[in-house]
Amino acid sequence: MNDFDVTVIRQNWQFLAEGLALSALLVAVSVLGGVVLGALLALSRLSRLPLLPALVAGYVTVMRTLPLVLVLFWFYFLGPFLLGHPIGSLTAALIAFVLFEAAFYCEIIRAGIQSVRPGQAQAALATGMTHAQAMRLVVLPTALRAMVPLLLNQVIIVFQDTSLVYVVTLRDFMTAASIIASRDSRPIEMYSLVALVYLAICFTASRLVAALWKPAPR
């Protein structure tokens, strides 16, 4: 501990920055894919179609019960069987992340829609709107206000989750740092840096979310 060496960070900053860029890519794709697929899942779960709501509920429960590490292992293994040809580790990780995070986004979106009092939708229907119109013009705008802080907090959780691609040796920020840590025997410097960077980003982001979205008066 007597020789905390910052030069190892300076010498490798480009390698670390590339890692952070991959982390950002993973977050962007997981969040976009997760929200779109999650919204579809939530709407299917709330629909009155036969069987579909139960299937979606089962999917969401299973995904939420499994560790992300295991889901990553599954898709590394399954990738070639699903697509018929070998896939890169990045593709496999992206598929795993989107399918995994979609389950969490589905629950946030579903809870948001259900937080709108049923009287609102009934009133909309009574004015002659169709179900789709009532959903789009009355329920969703209100539901969205309730969901936004939760959706944004989930982005922070996804960012923390991306560190797990370490187990499949994709070179995200965490993995890049651990590669340097073992190559240059500098675990203290590297892991402290990683912790500080995650702490700074996640703390600032969660404070921003809390400050920008005060709970709406009911």
Binding residues (CB under 8 A) for other proteins: these are: 1, 62, 64-70, 73-74, 77-78, 80-81, 84, 160-161, 163-164, 166-167, 174, 178, 181, 187-188, 191-192, 194-195, 198-199, 202-203, 206
Three-state DSSP at 180 gives helix
Of the two residues 191 and 213, which places its CB atom closer to other proteins in the complex? 191
Backbone torsions φ then ψ of 85, nearest 5 degrees: -145, 160
Q: Provide the minimum distance between the beta carbon of 129 and other proteins in the complex, in angstroms, as a whole number.
A: 35
- Of 99 and 194, the one with the shorter C-beta distance to other proteins is 194
Both tokens of 17, joined, read 């920055």
CB of 130 to other proteins, least distance (A): 36
Q: Residue 26 or residue 134: which is nearer to other proteins going by CB?
A: 26
Q: How far is the CB of 44 from other proteins (least distance, A)?
A: 22
CA distance 22 to 11: 19
**CA dist., res. 102 & res. 108, Å (int):** 10
List the end-to-end C-alpha distance of the chain, in Å, as a whole number. 53
Angle, vertex CA 68, rays to CA 213 and CA 144, nearest 5: 25
Which residue, 69 or 152, is less far from other proteins as judged by CB?
A: 69
For residues 142 and 192, which CB has a smaller minimum distance to other proteins in the complex? 192
In 62-94, which positions are buried (b, 16+ CB within 10 angstroms) versus exposed (e)? ebeeeebeebbeebbeebeeeeeeebebbebbb
User: Shortest approach of other proteins to residue 23 CB, angstroms?
Assistant: 10
Angle between helices 187-212 and 173-183 (to 10 degrees): 160
Q: In the numeric block, which tokens belong to residue 62?
A: 């299973």
Minimum distance from residue 189 beta carbon to other proteins (Å): 9
Minimum distance of other proteins from residue 153's CB (angstroms)? 11
Alpha carbon distance 61, 115 (integer Å): 20
In this complex, which beta carbon is closest to other proteins, that of residue 45 or of residue 186? 186
